[in-house]
Amino acid sequence: MEHGQTLAQAARSGATLTGEFVVDCHMHNARVAKFFSRFEHYRDLITQMNRIGVTCGVVSNLWTTGEHWQAYPEMLAMCETYPGRFWGYLAPDPHRDDHRTEMEKFAACPCFRGVKLHPVEHKMDFECPEYQYVYAWAGERGFPVLLHTWGQEVLRFHKLAQSFPRTIFILGHSGGEEDAVRSAIEVAARHENVYLDTACSYVWYGAVEAMARGAGACKVLYGSDAYWNSMEAAVGRILLAELTDEEKRQILGLNAKRLFHLDQLQRG
């Protein structure tokens, strides 16, 4: 990225975002049969992150919704192999009797910075007792909670935000569908502890601008959903949005830096 370039100019020229702090808040470390993936291994993610200029990513492992015993060792290996480039979400399986003990155990590892919950995969309700335990637990420790959301279920976070005021809720995909995203914007605008993420395989024109203007750029986080979705497209829709560079920088990484307690990091 050349000195004096705007972020939009850097995007159009294909420049790497050198000197910027970019955090992908919605990444995965697993391939699954129902999604096409360009990547075979997290080494491939690092190559792509270096090319684009993504400083680091916060990652969940979908083994936690299947072969649970593999999840945390794989996450630790990923974070230890590339320190400062990957951070982990604790992803408890509420069907397991030991999930509370495992959260306590791995929360002590500095590479874990948040919690990821997937109600569809878990077949759990947002307000079920086990999820409510996790919300309260995460709020006490300052761990943001990223939840998969789709459709008008985002409106339920009016109640959850009020019930758990110390917990930071990140609405994964921001509800996905256009009407749901607009509802999610309303929720995030009303509640200080609710944030939006931009991870989605398709978005409607002006979605990022609507999020930033409706809820404030300080309430929006860049996410790509890699392995599966394109990091280039996810970053590009922010770089080319009709927003100021200051607003874009908040979305690209400064908001996540604050929420996940990340310091300026050297790339590995």
> Does residue 193 fall inside a structural domain?
yes
> Does residue 187 fall inside a structural domain?
yes
Number of domains in the chain: 1
Cβ–Cβ under 8 Å, residues 87 and 57:
yes
> Does residue 101 fall inside a structural domain?
yes
Would you state the pLDDT for residue 197? Answer: 97
Q: Name 26's Cβ contacts closer than 8 Å, sequence gap at least 6.
A: 58, 146, 172, 197, 199, 221, 223, 224, 225
Would you state the pLDDT for residue 265? Answer: 52
Arithmetic mean of pLDDT, 37-59: 88
For the segment 87-109, what is each residue's pLDDT rounded down to a tens digit? Answer: 999 988 888 888 899 899 999 99
As a whole number, the mean pLDDT across the chain is 90
> Does residue 2 fall inside a structural domain?
no
Torsion of CA 132, 134, 135, 139, to 10 degrees: 140
> Does residue 264 fall inside a structural domain?
no
**Residue 165: CATH number of its domain:** 3.20.20.140
The residue to which tokens 């077949």 are assigned = 123
Q: Which of 24-38, 79-93, 160-174 has the highest mean pLDDT?
A: 160-174
Does 163 or 71 have the greater pLDDT score? 163
Question: Whole-angstrom Cα distance, residue 68 to residue 230?
Answer: 26
DSSP string, 150-206: -GGGGGGHHHHHHH-TTPPEEEEGGGSSHHHHHHHHHHHHH-TTEEEE---S---TT
| pLDDT class of 30 with cuts at 50, 70, 90 | low
For the segment 182-240, what is each residue's pLDDT rounded down to a tens digit? Answer: 999 999 999 999 999 999 877 889 999 999 999 999 999 999 998 888 899 999 999 99
The range of the structural domain enclosing residue 111 comes to 7-259
> Does residue 267 fall inside a structural domain?
no
Within a 10 A sphere around the Cβ of 9, how many other Cβ atoms?
13
Question: Whole-angstrom Cα distance, residue 130 to residue 232?
Answer: 36
| pLDDT class of 44 with cuts at 50, 70, 90 | confident
> Does residue 117 fall inside a structural domain?
yes
> Does residue 1 fall inside a structural domain?
no
Question: Whole-angstrom Cα distance, residue 234 to residue 174?
Answer: 14
Q: Name 85's Cβ contacts closer than 8 Å, sequence gap at least 6.
A: 46, 49, 55, 56, 57, 265, 267, 268
Cβ–Cβ under 8 Å, residues 85 and 266:
no
